[in-house]
Structure 1
């Protein structure tokens, strides 16, 4: 500043900075290349004193830095240098820009040095003039302000737009230190405000022993720490259903590594511009580098072209910029994962805990609500509803609120409320693909031969004791597929197939979804498989019984393959069988035409239950049970005659009884034979 004040050459102080005089031009022509004007022929005793003072201060600062290191104190400026790979020149450039954020006097000084009162921020040319003295060094240091340099690439310094010069040269570009970097250097640990809507930080304190995951996975993760000590840049892809414990697993790993975690909810990043998306991702990576965070990207499987093409492209393009250990969390397979294979990627499946572990979670969640159940009841509940630990905790809270709603005084959680809460926290998206049938029938409502009733009860036993057979008795290790139950209901229309499925769902407390296969099957190649895939994918987390009506539309007897249509029809059938074998719940197929079903398919099902046309005795029982207790009936109803004379199914009997009731409501106060 002193040197600059000695070298003013304008003719008239009143117009300095407003025009370029001939004397200025002459002086500029005589300047050596790359030298600041105010250093020309400059000999000033005061300047020498100031320079000596500067050097003494620099030595004092270095000494204090050394003392801080000896006492285990790490200065933020030193951390910034280390984590962003900065040089001493970069630090000095940062400090020049930081000065104006701390003391406004520097704005006037920078304007004075740049010969323009409106230029209150330092331009790159000024920074170079202040920090370098030789033309060669000036050219080399110029690259420190290029877009690819650490200062600019990591957004430590920003280019400031000058409205008076739309496209300035690099040297004429003005600089500003980023607000988050200023706050960090001044001692703030607050997250960058631009990330608040979709980010949060976690001080990881979990340990592996507290995790509700299978022991084998715990052992592997702990072994990973020993065999993979340098995790910088590593990518762990954690895949498993919502609430299974992916984030707690990542927290436990970070706790062992002494890292905190920056959690990013990708659904919360709302941008449809590639540049804006890239800017946000750069801020995320800078924040992680700034405070040495591991990054946890939540919901990576939702990052698709449909969600945001711009964000997807920006994510893949900038992924190489991530500074440290990175977790990608997904409920299902991410179709773009292959594009990250060039990075040190490890895919980890986080499975659903077994029924015993889920029962333990239920016990803890209910105890938190001051409710206690026997372990046997909780294991049966866990077997029926394959909820993740996260969803179990949520369901327990929902059950408590339902109990208060039903009886505010007692507020005791009953099994009915637990079942209702479980259904509410199961995946409800299946309703978009199938019709949900609320259970309303009971065992007393259905009339079937005794052996058929026993077969239906066996289906319920399968669900109730599944965990004992598969997990406690070890059959889980003997079967790769086929852990669900696939049953065929065959019989004429109206013989009770849908009612039986309804009763089973009600007995087990599960949702029942009816899918009409005739609407699923498409004439367009590949569409049938796509429809079935969506149904089974949603059903896996719905804890529901799937009831496929009109099964013969897909399982009809195979004919000789004569054209492409026949070949793809067989492919569709095979695909349905494959998905049925993979599904671990109950699948019921219903058909009115048993003889039309290919025997090869029937043999691959676990059971076939025939619903016979009711004989006279069964018809008499149906006529008796069809009437609600509150329905007024004449004493002269001859139900024996109706059963003997009319050979009809239970469905027809129900329709007749309902029609008679409406006739009676319009005519008299009770149902009589005339109405029937």
Structure 2
């Protein structure tokens, strides 16, 4: 760049000689010393005699086509000229504006030329006078300072109005290079401070993580980009896929293959702050040009919301003028007609399937030195549809939990004497810790429409006939073997919908439907969410569908079991259309049918009134489990299992007698057992038959019934094991 300034020095020397010639008739040297502060009579007459618009001084003798080309002396100026289509005149303007940033002597020279010691920075008039041979050329070159000129449109040059002249004419505006351009021209390569909050400049490593894009596809994309650049066509690549499908790794591999750096733009973070989008996108693309980087815009879906429509259009317009390789990333479909000047190639990114997830789990476990049974690896890969980042996070989290567990179990004296006791390499990680870490990695955004239930029940806790228990086990088996049936055996190609495990639990209240859902979630080691129907159904048209869409979308991301209690309220029969309310209610049910078919997770619907369920829903159920009212034998089993081992039971408590006398379902039996425990805790500290009968009467009262046969509890063997 210093060699390019010698070109400017020659222009200034020529202009200064012109100034000396015109001021040679000044009366005394004293007047010359006051140049810029004092106007003599001769100087006023000289101004009147000058042709209107003619340069006060000029370094060009004949035509401005004779201007020297500064890009011949500096490679960065050549890059600028090629990237922005700058003329020789534009380059000289940039050089004039840059000079005071590098050497303050130019401030004095500019003040002298402009006959004003306070005007130390170049102005439009000074640049025109220096670079134009006459008035006509000066008038024509004003176009280089218009808002749509290359210098101003791309934000390379800023026009600063004269503070003492409001409004200031164009030729009185000062010239100021953008700070981003100054750093580029002076070789200071660092990310612009205005972009730092939402941009990262990354240099891909020589051997990065394996990309989901194969080498042939990456080579083809680079060839298309190069061909478009040569033909002047504006081309962007759109990576379409959900978060975690490998788009970031793919773009890093693409940049590495291109021998370029990666400028990653976080669009959601960008639009969350205040800013003028046109200027920000211009800065981003200038940065990509200066750094010869691949521009990567992640999170495009955010810009496509209605409230960010202006930002979205600004981005497309900016890309329509960008000749480099730009990559957009999002989940929604992007139309190729979004902007007429921009051509878009869509590259789909599918979530990793079971085999890919299994390979990722094995890779991450191996890297962290964690050993796990093959069956547990299969279960993790099958039940958690994770990306590489989530799998890595889950393994690291489980490893840290194992270290904490070991440190907690080790005495402080031993821990202080040998730090090796808490080294991560020596701590075995259990499958339970890995499943817990995997559940934590799942992004649960269902809190406003669902409540999370911590599954506490196992198979030993639920008392059902063998056939119903077998059906529950079948539900778990289907959830565990989906990757085999749909993947290895090819049934996934035959079924476009209905690939989820959707079960219907029917039966009277308190017969174990909620407990069964907990048992399933516990067996599969997944989170369980109970849907709050009051938060779903809305009186406003279209709101119910939005809530349903949000639930199923988040359930898919969360890798959780959905539990719809009292599902008949939401999945009820469609009615004959008599008014607008009936029509919209049927639309909601139809939409729900669609979402149930599209859902590929695990959902359990519970109802006390199967007859109220729409038959179209019933047909779509993979499994229907009838929960019968427990007979005497099953009531006895429930009574036997409902008390924890620590509970102090009196010898007078006889389960068989309780089962004969109290003809209620398991939910009510649980309530009675808990209430009797509180009675006993405040009384004799032992749960006895009177406590149970008192609790039973209260439970019957809640049901609006009376318990009249309490005396039948007398008798029995008194061993509470009948």
Instruction: State the TM-score, normalizing by the size of structure 2.
Output: 0.84
> Which of 11, 19, 36 does residue 4 from structure 1 map onto?
19
Q: Report the 3-state secondary structure (helix = DSSP H, G, I; strand = E; otherwise coil) of the residue aligned with 2:604.
A: strand
Contact 2:319 2:342 in 1 (8 A): no
Please list, as runs of the form range in 1=range in 2, the aligned pairs for 1:287-366 lying within 5 A after superposition: 287-303=287-303, 311-312=311-312, 314-330=314-330, 332-333=331-332, 339-340=338-339, 343-366=342-365
Cross-structure match for 1:650 = 666
CA distance in 2, matches of 1:400, 1:414: 9
Give the alignment's TM-score, normalised by structure 1. 0.90
1:445 aligns with 2:461: yes
Give 3-state SS (helix, strand or coil) of 1:675's partner.
Answer: helix
Correspondence for 2:387: 388
1:29 to 41, 48, 59: 48
Q: Is the 8 A contact 2:360 2:388 kept in 1?
A: yes
Partner of 1:230: 227
Distance change (3 Å), C-alpha of 1:569 and 1:456: same
Instruction: Give, in angstroms, the shift of residue 179 of structure 1.
Output: 2.4
User: Is contact 2:679–2:691 with CA below 8 Å preserved after alignment?
Assistant: yes
For residues 269-302 of structure 1, what are the alpha-carbon distances to aligned partners after superposition, in whole Å with 9 as ceiling and x for unaligned? Answer: 266656x332221111111222332211111212
Question: How big is each residue's C-alpha offset from its partner over 1:380-433, in whole Å with a ceiling of 9 and x where there is no partner?
Answer: 211011111121112111111111122234522111111111111111111222
In the alignment, what sits opposite 1:462?
478
Q: SS of 2:170's equivalent?
A: coil
What's 2:403 paired with?
A: 404
**1:44 corresponding residue in structure 2:** none
Please state if 1:546 is matched with 2:565: no
Alignment of 1:453-492 (within 5 A): 453-492=469-508
Structure 1 residues 301 and 170 mapped into 2: Cα distance closer, same or farther (>3 Å)? same
Is 1:96 paired with 2:101?
Answer: no
CA contact (8 A) 2:528 2:561 kept: yes
Contact preservation (8 Å) 1:547, 1:589: yes
Post-superposition offset of 1:206: 7.1
- Cα deviation for residue 19 of structure 1 reads 5.9
CA distance in 2, matches of 1:272, 1:646: 65
- Hey, what does 1:127 align to over in structure 2? 127
User: Quick one: distance in 1 between partners of 2:433 and 2:242?
Assistant: 24
CA distance in 1, matches of 2:241, 2:615: 37
User: In structure 1, what is the equivalent of residue 240 of structure 2?
Assistant: 239
Question: Given the superposition, is the C-alpha separation of residues 158 and 225 from structure 1 closer, same or farther in structure 2, using an over 3 Å criterion?
Answer: closer
Contact 1:241-1:388 within 8 A present in 2 as well: no
Q: Which residue of 1 aligns with 2:439?
A: 423
Q: Which residue of 2 aligns with 1:251?
A: 252
In structure 2, how many angstroms separate the alpha carbons of the residues matched to 1:673 and 1:597? 41
Would the aligned equivalents of 1:363 and 1:372 in 2 still touch at CA under 8 Å?
no
Please list every run of 5 or more consecutive structure 2 residues that lacks an aligned counterpart in the other structure. Answer: 1-15, 408-421, 693-722
CA distance in 1, matches of 2:96, 2:605: 76
Q: How does 1:510-521 map to 2 (within 5 A)?
A: 510-521=526-537
SS of alignment partner, residue 171 of structure 2: coil
C-alpha separation in 2, matches of 1:124 and 1:583? 65
Report deviation, 1:205.
5.2
Q: Secondary structure at the match of 1:193?
A: coil
Looking at structure 2, the residues matched to 57 and 574 of structure 1 have their Cα atoms a distance apart, in angstroms, of 74
Residue 172 of structure 1 is matched in structure 2 by 172
SS in 2 for 1:430: coil
Tell me, yes or no, if the aligned pair for 1:6 and 1:38 is still in contact at 8 Å. Answer: no
Structure 1 distance, partners of 2:683, 2:436, is 41
- 2-structure distance, mates of 1:393, 1:519: 35
Aligned with 2:509 (options 493, 498, 504): 493
Gap change, CA 1:544 and 1:206, over 3 Å in 2: farther
2: CA distance between counterparts of 1:143 and 1:342?
24
Once the two structures are TM-superposed, the CA of residue 305 in structure 1 deviates from its matched residue by: 5.4
Could you tell which deviates more after superposition, 388-397 or 27-36? 27-36
* Separation in structure 2 between the aligned mates of residue 180 and residue 110 of structure 1, nearest angstrom: 24
Question: How far apart, CA to CA, are the structure 1 residues paired with 2:53 and 2:272?
Answer: 44
Q: Distance in 2 between matches of 1:244 and 1:271?
A: 24
| Cα separation, partners in 2 of 1:361 and 1:110, compared to 1, 3 Å | same
SS of equivalent residue, structure 1 residue 459: helix
* CA pair 196-262 structure 1, distance change in 2 beyond 3 A: same
Check conservation: 1:245, 1:390, Cα contact below 8 A: no
Give the whole-Å Cα distance in 2 for the aligned partners of 1:342 and 1:440.
59
User: Structure 1 residues 206 and 102 mapped into 2: Cα distance closer, same or farther (>3 Å)?
Assistant: closer
Q: CA separation of 1:154/1:341 partners in 2, compared to 1, >3 Å: closer, same or farther?
A: closer
Kindly provide the CA deviation profile for residues 326-367 of structure 1, in whole angstroms up to 9, marking residues without a partner as x: 21212x327999744762123333111111111111111111
Matching residue of 2:157: 157
Alignment of 1:639 with 2:655, yes or no, is yes
Number of aligned pairs? Answer: 649
Taking the aligned partners of 1:665 and 1:627, their CA distance within structure 2 comes to 14
In 2, the alpha carbon distance for the partners of 1:608 and 1:348 equals 41
Specify whether residues 395 and 212 from structure 1 end up closer, same or farther in structure 2 by C-alpha distance, changes over 3 A only: farther
SS across alignment from 2:320: helix
* Deviation of the 1:77 alpha carbon: 1.7
Over the aligned positions, Cα root-mean-square deviation in angstroms equals 2.9
Among 587, 609, 612, which residue is 2:628 paired with?
612
- SS of the aligned residue for 1:37 comes to coil
Preserved CA contact (<8 Å) 1:208 1:249: no
Contact 2:638 2:669 in 1 (8 A): yes
1:252-279 superposed Cα distances (whole Å, 9 cap, x missing partner) = 23333443321111233266656x3322
Structure 1 residue 510, shift from structure 2 partner: 0.5
How far did residue 16 of structure 1 move?
Answer: 4.6
- What stretches of structure 1 of length at least 5 have no aligned partner? 40-46, 66-73
Inter-partner Cα distance in structure 1 for 2:675 and 2:272: 59
With over 3 angstroms needed to count, the CA separation of the structure-2 counterparts of 1:200 and 1:209, relative to structure 1, is closer
Q: Which moved more, 1:482-491 or 1:396-405?
A: 396-405
Contact 2:317–2:339 at 8 Å: present in 1 too?
no
SS in 1 for 2:455: coil
Deviations 1:10-47 (A, max 9, x none): 775576534655544322221123333356xxxxxxx9
SS in 2 for 1:171: helix
Q: How does 1:271-286 map to 2 (within 5 A)?
A: 276-286=276-286
Conserved? CA contact 2:597–2:620, under 8 Å: no
What residue is the counterpart of 1:599 in the other structure? 615
**Do the aligned partners of 1:123 and 1:175 also contact (CA within 8 Å) in 2?**
yes
CA contact (8 A) 2:267 2:299 kept: yes
Residues 166, 211 of structure 1: alpha-carbon distance in 2 compared, 3 angstrom cutoff: same
The CA deviation string for residues 86-116 of structure 1, in whole angstroms up to 9 with x for no partner, is 1111111111122111111110110111111
Distance verdict in 2 for CA 1:291–1:518, change over 3 Å: closer
Q: SS at the partner of 1:188?
A: coil
The DSSP-based 3-state class of the residue aligned with 1:264 is strand
